[in-house]
Each structure stands twice: as structure tokens, then as C-alpha cells.
Amino acid sequence: MEDVKTEYEKVISERKEVLNELNLLTEDEKVKRFIELYEKEKTLANKQNGLYNKNKRLEYSSCDHIWVRVAHDYDSWEGRGYDYHGCVKCGLDGSVLLEMESLHNPQWLANDRRIMYDYIRNNYGYYSGTHTDLSCDLETGMSLYKKIKSVFPEVDDDAIVKYLEVAINTEKESKEKKLTL
């Protein structure tokens, strides 16, 4: 018991010494400037994060979505299948709802996924726009969309869907052909 008390008193003494040194350092102009800049950087980082989140929500709400099927889940208990869709324009990904079924807490999601989840949960009409019967992973769909827009910048959404369909089917046929070789 005495060993614990002695160790406790020693820690208190060491902490007092450290606090005294810290107080002395805070009187130094360079250290004061460092502390000011450190606090300012933390404030700016928080502001940047808030603006990023706001910007993503605005991007999702202002997008005239083009949806592709990005995931399918089958609930054996209910005997139903669920399709999850993603937008090839802005990246809004409904499969985050499927992800949440296993995580149960939005805090476990990466920041971008949490923004999507919050947006979808709070915006009943999020699923507006052009719906397709196309299936692909969202990164592929977004990449194809960007390529199409770079080649045909003035193309409308209906034409983009047709181009996407050809590109996705060509890619699937190519993969199937490779598997049979």
C-alpha cells in the first residue's frame, strides 16, 4: 500500500514540475504564437469540415441524378430482395443503407458515407432523377459517366443512359469472354 502512495506522490510532484515548465514556456513569444496558430488551425479545420459537409449535401440536392443498381440484398426472413442504387453523376450511394444494417451506428461510417447516410435519411425525395435498369459498381458507373461527358460535353441525360448501357454491357461481355478463355 505504501508503494502505491509513494508512487502517487511522485507522479503529483512530476506533474507539478511539468505544469510549471509549461507555464514558463507560455510566456515565450514563439510559444504563444505557436499556440495561437494551433488553435486557429483547429478552428479552420472544423470550419472546413462543416463547409465540406454542407457542400456535399448541396451537391446531392442539386443533382439531377442518374441511378444505377449498385447492390442487391435478399432478406430470407421476409422473403424479399432489395436493390440499392447510386448516382453516377454525384456519387450519392444508397448502398450506405445496407452498410448501416450491419454497423447500426452512423459514427462507424467514414465521413463521406455518413454524409450520404444523413442526407438519404433526412431527404425522403432523394431518389428523384433518371432511373435505369443498369447494374455496376458505382466507381465504374461514375468513371464511365465522366468519360462520356468529357467526349460529349453537351449530351443530355437520356443519351448518357444509352451510352452507359452500351459501355456497361461491353464491359460485362469483355469480362465474360475473359472468363471463358
pLDDT per residue as tens digits for the range 136-173: 999 999 999 999 999 999 999 999 999 999 999 888 77
SS3 at position 31? helix
Contact by Cβ (8 Å): 105, 112: no
The proportion of the chain whose per-residue pLDDT surpasses 90, expressed as a percent, equals 68
Distance CA 107, CA 100 (A): 10
Q: What is the mean pLDDT of residues 37-56?
A: 96
- Residue 11 backbone phi and psi in degrees, to 5: -65, -40
Q: What is the mean pLDDT of residues 37-44?
A: 96
* Residues 176, 95 share a domain: yes
Q: Is residue 37 part of a domain?
A: yes
Number of structural domains in the chain: 2
pTM score of the predicted model: 0.76
Bridge partners, residue 85, by sequence: 69
Q: Is residue 54 part of a domain?
A: no
What pLDDT does residue 179 have? 67
Distance CA 86, CA 144 (A): 14
Distance CA 46, CA 73 (A): 36
SS3 at position 73? strand
What pLDDT does residue 106 have? 86
Q: Is residue 51 part of a domain?
A: no
- Domain that includes residue 149, residue range: 62-180
Within 10 A of 68 (CB to CB), how many other CB atoms are there?
27
Q: Is residue 12 part of a domain?
A: yes
* Residues 160, 116 share a domain: yes
Residue 77 pLDDT exceeds 90:
no
Candidate from 21-30, 73-82, 111-120 with smallest mean pLDDT: 73-82
